[in-house]
Structures are given as C-alpha cells and as structure tokens.
Structure 1
C-alpha cells in the first residue's frame, strides 16, 4: 500500500499530461496573435477581405468548429480503444498539422491546416480528463484536474509572449512579412516531439496494445466528413461574402446534427450521459467557459492594443496575464473543490460563486472600456483577477462531471461537455470580430461575454449532483438489464 504522502505514480501521469496541455494549448492559441499580426502588417492573403477582423474571427471559428466536432468522437473512442492511445494520436496529429501550416502561403491552405489542427486537438480533452479520473484517488480528483490543466494556462501564456520574438526571428530567416510562419514551426515541432515521447512512456507503463491504425480508422470516419464540411462552409462564406457571425451559426448546425446523432443513434448505449438532466445542465453552462476562454484567447492582444493604444509587444505581455492567472487559479480551484468534498459541502457552492464573481468582473472590464478607460496596467490587473476565478472554476466543473458520470462512460461524458462548450468557442471569435468591425471598439464584445457568463451562473444553480449520480447509476443498471 502506498504511503499517504510523497510522490505517487499518478503524479507522474499528471506531469506528462500537463506538458501535453502546454504544447497543444500553445498550438491552438497561436492563431489569435498570428492573425492579429497579419492584419496589422497587411500580409497579402489577409488583404482579400474588406473586413479583416471579421475574417480573422472566421478563421478562429472554423478552427474551433473542428475542435468542437471531435470532442465527442474522441471521448467515445477513448472509452473503446483506450484513453492513452487517443491522447498520443491527438498530439502527433496536431503537431504535424501545425508544422505543415507554416509552409502554406495561401488563405485556403492556411485555414485548411488550422482545421486539421483543430480536428486533432479536439481528441485530447475528454481522454485527458478521463485518464486523470481513472488514476487519481477520488479525494484528489479536482486537484489533479486543476494541476494538469495548468499546462493550458502555460500554453496560452507562451502563445501570447512568444509570437513577437518568434515572428521577428522569422522575418530575419524567411524575409519581411513572412515571420508569422516561425511560431507555427516551433510550436508544431514541440507538440510532435512530446507526442512521440508520451507514446514511449505509455507503452512502457501499460500492456494494452490496441493498434494505432485501428484507432485512426475509427476516428477517421468522422474527421474526413467534418473536414470537408467545414472547408466548404469557409470557402463559400469567403467567396460570396457571408458575414462571419452567420458562418459561425451555420457551423453550429454541425454540432446540432452530431448531438442529435448521439441522442438517436447512441441514446440507449449512452443514456447515462445524454439523458442525465444534471449533466446536460452542466454541458449547457459549459458553453460560457469556452466562449470566454477563446474570446480572450483569440482576441486579448487586439483588445488591449485597441483600448490602451499600445504596441503589439506591450499588448501581448499584458494579455499574458490572462494565461498566467491559470497557473495559480487551476490548482487553487481544484484544491478548494476537494476541500469542500472532504467537508461534505459538495463542489457546487464554490463553482456557482466563482462563476458569478467572474461574470461581474468581466462586466467591470467592459464598463471601464465603455467610459474610455485606457490604462494598460489597470486592464492587466482586472484581467488577472478575473482569470483567477475563471480558471479556478474549471476543475470544479470537470470534477463534478467525473463524479456524476459512470466510470466506463466518462470519456463520452467529457466529450459531450466539451462538444457543447466548444459551440461558445466557435461563436465568440467571429461575433467578437464582427462587433469590433461594426462598433469600432471591443466594448460590446466584452459585455456580451459577461452576459453569457452570468447566464451560465443561473443554469448552475439548478444542478443537483446527488440526483445526477443516482440517475446515471439507474441508467447503467437499466442498460445491463
């Protein structure tokens, strides 16, 4: 029996997954700073649109559409083929796609590789969350989820801080206005290498030998269809001038179709997930989490730069506070949720309180911008404190899903959570960019973000964890019967 203190085997798994979050998180976050730099420096293929910020938002939306659509298949196939196997596939896939992205110098080529990156990265989340729940003691589950997802905060921070330096290096290596390729080369290579290393680690630790080809074939049936559909929407919208917000609504139809497919085709098999009222309330509330995360993840540099009239580098450094706060917020939130469990309070109290505080602070930022506030220091402080609460609430929500879902269907449950959540990530970059073009500033987009968060708070008030756990257990027993 292991001692109660000291380094445990599950701590090692946490570290591997944390670094994986860091490299993959940097890959998915790099789009915003790179696109912002392209717009500001008039890179040729970004000049094809009269509304460059809306085009930039559309690029972000198609990426997150891809990321959204493989959330559920990733978790479902993780339940079938093994969570470690799908994690490896996700990292190597995303790393290769990001690396190749730097070689393509056309708008359609750039977007196509961003879509492929999103499809690969979408496989990771559900399997990471499920593997943590599998290897970690129940009383430390929230802490584990919080510690591991610190890697995402580190990745977002790197994606905010590194682009100015990597782009300058790229301009020196490849020529003026070609420097945007360097961040893609560097971050893609890092993700690819970590994918290979974690594959070696998992192989040494476990004897499950499901072939990678079997996993790829299972996932590939979905991803080929998703890729073709997303690219058709992008090309049509770009060629005939459909507004980016309308394109995002069209893309959301893909999520609706996938959700309906799960309900009607997998409804009996996954009844403990898709027919659980409390899981579904958390799923809908989770839309606000991904809306906020990728609204600021994609546009934070531009928001700070516009409001404070600062340079690209100053705005990038300030926006990095949003990611730095996750380094503290994620594990702190996980520890608090586990402490609440040990005291028999449940995780919900902290979750709803932190969601309310985050919504009110985001509203404060929008109001400050509305009255003409332009202090880069004050905006950095507000972003940092808001992000502390935002990052702290995420492991609380994840652990609640892990508690309610049955062990054999946690992958599907986490995949469904992020499938719903990523609809927010699809909408927020495009709507944010559209509102920026329409109003000339970011105030309306920030206030809309605050409203979405406060609506999430209202939904979470109705979640009953014990009721959800009982419903999941009953559904599982019915399926066995």
Structure 2
C-alpha cells in the first residue's frame, strides 16, 4: 500500500513538473511579443493573431488527444505530447518572420492540447474518486507555478540574451522532461483496462452520448467564456503594464509573479473544498468565482496605483482558478471513467476556441478604440458575468453518486 501511495505521488509530481514547463512555454509569447513586435514591426492585430495561433491548434487537437489517451493510455501519449510541444517551442526561437512564428506556436499548441485530457486520465487510473479533485488541483496548480516562475525566467532570459535563446532553453528542458516522464510512468503491472468485456463502445457512440448530454454543453460554455477572460488578461496585460503603466520588462516580470503565486495556493484550496464541501455541487463555486473575478477585474482596470492594481488582479486570478478546477473536476466526477479522456478532450476542444478568439478580440478592440484598455477590460468583465449566468443552469445533484452514461 505504501509503495502504491509513493508511486501516485511520484507520478503526480512528474506531471506537475511537466505542466509547469508547459505553461511557461504557453505564456512565453505574451512577454516575448513585446521585443518580437519591435523586430518584426507587428501591429496589435498581428500580435493578437500570433498569440492566437497557439490556441487554434490547441483547440482543434483536444478531442484527438482525448481519444488517443483513452485508446493508448496516458504514458505514451503524454510523453509524446511533451516532446512535440518542446520541439515547437525550440522552433519558435529559430523563425525568420511572423508567419514562421505563428506556425511554430501552432505546433506548440498541438502538443499541449493532449495534456489536459491525458492528465485527467492518469488521475483516474491512480486515484479514487474521493481524491480526484485534490490530485487534479495539484496538477492544475502547475499552471500558476508556470506563470509565477515563467514571468521571471522569461524576462531574465530575454534581458540577458534574447527572445530566441529563451525559446531554445525552454524547449531543451521540455525534451528532458519528456524522457523522464516516459521512464517514470512505466507500468509495474498490467495496465488498467478502461472498458471491461461487453462494455467496449465505439468512439463514435461515446462522443454521441456526450453530445446528447446537456451538461456537456453547459460546462463547455462556462469554460469558453472563462478562457476569454483568462487569456484576454494573460495575453495583453504584459503590454498594458509596459506601454500604458510605464513599467520596465524586469519590473513587470517581478510583479507578475504575485497573482500566480496566490493562484497556486488557490488551486490546492479549491481542490480540497471541492472534495470536502462542493462534491457534485461545483456550480456554486463557479458562480462565486465568476462574480468575484468580474468585480476585481473592474477594480484593477480603474486602479491608479500599480501595487493596488496587481492586488486586485491577484484576487481575480484566485477566483478564475476556482472556475477552472471546478470545470475539470465536474468532468471527472459527472462522466463515466471510460470516457473521461474523450469528454475532457471534447469539452476542452470547444472551450479553447475562447482562448483562440480572446487575444484577437482584445487586439481588435484596442485597434478600434485607439488603445483604450478600459473598454477591453469591460469586455472581459461582461464575459465573467455570462459565466455566472450559465453556471446557474447546471443541475443540482446534492450528494448523489454520478450517473454512469451508457452508449
């Protein structure tokens, strides 16, 4: 039993490390776009398109990734995914123009698209249902650590060397982690069979059952608008702090550690809350998170003091994280185990279109309003309110066991 527990901890720790680096890779462009736009002479619209290139393939590949994980298991698919996104990151530093950079970011997005579904499947393979929220919260917290560490690592590498060297270094680290993940996840016994004899269903029927479930579409809509809010902030705040607030790159990077540092704690706390108090009641945490985040994004946009603005941003980030973890836990707890990968891939595939749209949407708003960030932030506040409205329509299941779907 002890060895089983240790193995769980090692696996979740390794997945956590991969997702930390993955999120550094994912968000590096948000800071690097500042010197890149100067070198390539990019407008706000073109900057938004380059940032969105990642999310286009990230969205399109989600369902494929979910299917591959359900079909071949988490070990091979996850380690391959880390290798693919790392090669894409390295390629980002070798491009000669904006088109090449967009293509490299698209490759990075395709690799990272597999990880959410793969991580969920790995958790269902090694953890009891009553422990899944906490395990998923540990994995999700890697995003916050990636943001916090990444803001310093990225700005330091760019300042000391160049944006090209920054991408190369991150890519090499990812390739090392890919090999380590493959070794660590080597099965010690026969792999768990997701579907027993007589239970095997075709992928077509499995997706069909998910599409007929109204909860699938409600969760998708919630995460779609959450992604618009989250990535609208992440994509354009670095430019806002530097160009509007007059911060230096290094100063901005240091301040930018604060919101995700608190976000790390919020992920772990929310995982515990979901297992302890919000089991099958995730909708309430989503409603709370969306309302509070909307209020504090508004306050951030109107704050005159930079420290106060970052304080408001930190609070909004905490509650946006509450929505994110609630979405993935809802999938793991409300859908059958043999469809967790497919369900996560399907929902994330559609919801990540919000991530794809968001940088371009905010870029277009800024171009149309003469760089009026106040209006851009108001759009994000409105999207957060929509999240709350959708979450109120979730069915209340008050402590009942999840209903296993059949197809």
Q: Give the TM-score of the pair, scaled to structure 1.
A: 0.77
Structure 1 residues 127, 309: closer, same or farther in 2, change over 3 A?
Answer: same
Q: Give the equivalent residue in structure 1 for 2:378.
A: 447
Query: How far has the Cα of 1:206 moved from its partner?
Result: 5.4
Correspondence for 1:388: 318
Is 2:335 the counterpart of 1:408?
no
- For the pair 1:192 / 2:151, whether they are aligned, the reply is no
* In 2: Cα distance, 1:81 partner to 1:292 partner: 34
1:270 to 200, 207, 210: 207
Task: List runs of 5+ in structure 2 lacking aligned partners.
Answer: 193-201
Match of 2:255 among 310, 318, 321: 318
Other-structure match for 1:176: none
Indicate yes or no: 2:139 matched with 1:148.
yes
In structure 2, distance between residues paired with 1:127 and 1:275: 23
> Over aligned residues, Cα RMSD in angstroms?
2.4
Does residue 108 (structure 1) correspond to residue 99 (structure 2)? The answer is: yes
Distance in structure 2 (CA, Å) of the matches to 1:165 and 1:76? 39
In structure 2, what is the Cα distance between the partners aligned to 1:451 and 1:13?
A: 39
How many residues align structurally? 397
Q: Equivalent of 2:277, from 322, 335, 340?
A: 340
User: 1:115: Cα distance to partner?
Assistant: 1.0
Distance 1:202 1:108, change over 3 A: same
Cross-structure match for 2:73: 82
CA distance in 1, matches of 2:318, 2:402: 33
Distance 2:325 2:127 in 1: 14
Deviations 1:386-409, CA, capped at 9 Å, x for gaps: 111111332222111111111111
For the 8 Å contact 1:359–1:450, the answer to whether it is kept is yes
Q: 1:349 pairs with 277, 284, 293, which one?
A: 284
| Partner Cα distance (2:280, 2:73) in 1 | 33
Match of 1:105, SS state, is coil
1, 20, 23: which one aligns with 1:22? 20
Residue 295 of structure 1 is matched in structure 2 by: 232
Contact kept, 8 Å, 1:276 with 1:471, in 2: the verdict is no
**In the alignment, is residue 183 of structure 1 matched against residue 181 of structure 2?**
no
SS state at 1:268 partner? helix
CA distance in 1, matches of 2:177, 2:230: 24
Aligned counterpart, 1:251: none
1:143-176 CA distance string (max 9 Å, x none): 1111111111111223322222201222xxxxxx
**Aligned-residue offset at 1:90:** 0.6
SS at match of 2:338: helix
Output the CA distance in 2 between the equivalents of 1:206 and 1:71: 29
How far apart are 1:443 and its partner, in Å?
1.4
Partner in structure 2 of residue 376 of structure 1:
306
Could you tell me how far 1:8 is from its partner in structure 2?
4.0
- Work out the CA distance in 1 between the residues paired with 2:396 and 2:10: 30
Distance 1:167 1:312 in 2: 9
CA contact (8 A) 1:436 1:445 kept: yes
- The question of whether the paired residues in 2 share the 8 Å contact of 1:338 and 1:347 is answered with no
1:120-269 matches, cutoff 5 A: 120-170=111-161, 179-203=162-186, 205=188, 268-269=205-206
Using a 3 Å threshold, how does the CA distance of structure 1 residues 189 and 337 change in structure 2: closer, same or farther? same
Asked if 1 retains the 8 angstrom alpha-carbon contact of 2:70 and 2:121, the reply is no
CA contact (8 A) 2:299 2:309 kept: no
Please report how far the alpha carbon of residue 379 of structure 1 lies from its aligned counterpart in structure 2 after TM superposition.
0.8
- Shift, 1:364, TM fit: 2.5
Alignment partners' CA distance in 2, 1:274 and 1:62? 27
In structure 1, distance between residues paired with 2:187 and 2:215: 38
Q: Is the 8 A contact 1:340 1:347 kept in 2?
A: no
Q: Point out where structure 1 has 5 or more consecutive residues left out of the alignment.
A: 171-178, 210-264
**Equivalent residue for 1:423?**
353
CA contact (8 A) 2:226 2:323 kept: no
* Post-superposition offset of 1:266: 5.8
- Partner Cα distance (1:90, 1:206) in 2: 23
CA contact (8 A) 2:53 2:106 kept: yes
Q: How does 1:426-437 map to 2 (within 5 A)?
A: 426-437=356-367
What secondary structure does 2:138 align onto?
helix
Counterpart selection for 1:60 from 23, 38, 51 = 51
Q: Give the 3-state SS of the residue equivalent to 1:203 in structure 2.
A: coil
**For residues 420 and 345 of structure 1, what CA distance do their matches in structure 2 show?**
23
CA contact (8 A) 2:294 2:381 kept: yes
CA distance in 2, matches of 1:347, 1:434: 34
**In structure 2, distance between residues paired with 1:189 and 1:293:** 28
**Which residue of structure 1 lines up, in the alignment, with residue 199 of structure 2?**
none
Aligned to 2:197: none
Deviations 1:214-253 (A, max 9, x none): xxxxxxxxxxxxxxxxxxxxxxxxxxxxxxxxxxxxxxxx
Tell me if 1:73 matches 2:4. Answer: no
Aligned-partner Cα distance in 1 for 2:237–2:253:
8
Measured after TM superposition, the shift of residue 53 of structure 1 is 1.6
Deviation at 1:207, TM superposition (A): 5.1
Which one is further off, 296-305 or 18-27?
296-305
Q: Distance in 2 between matches of 1:441 and 1:2?
A: 57
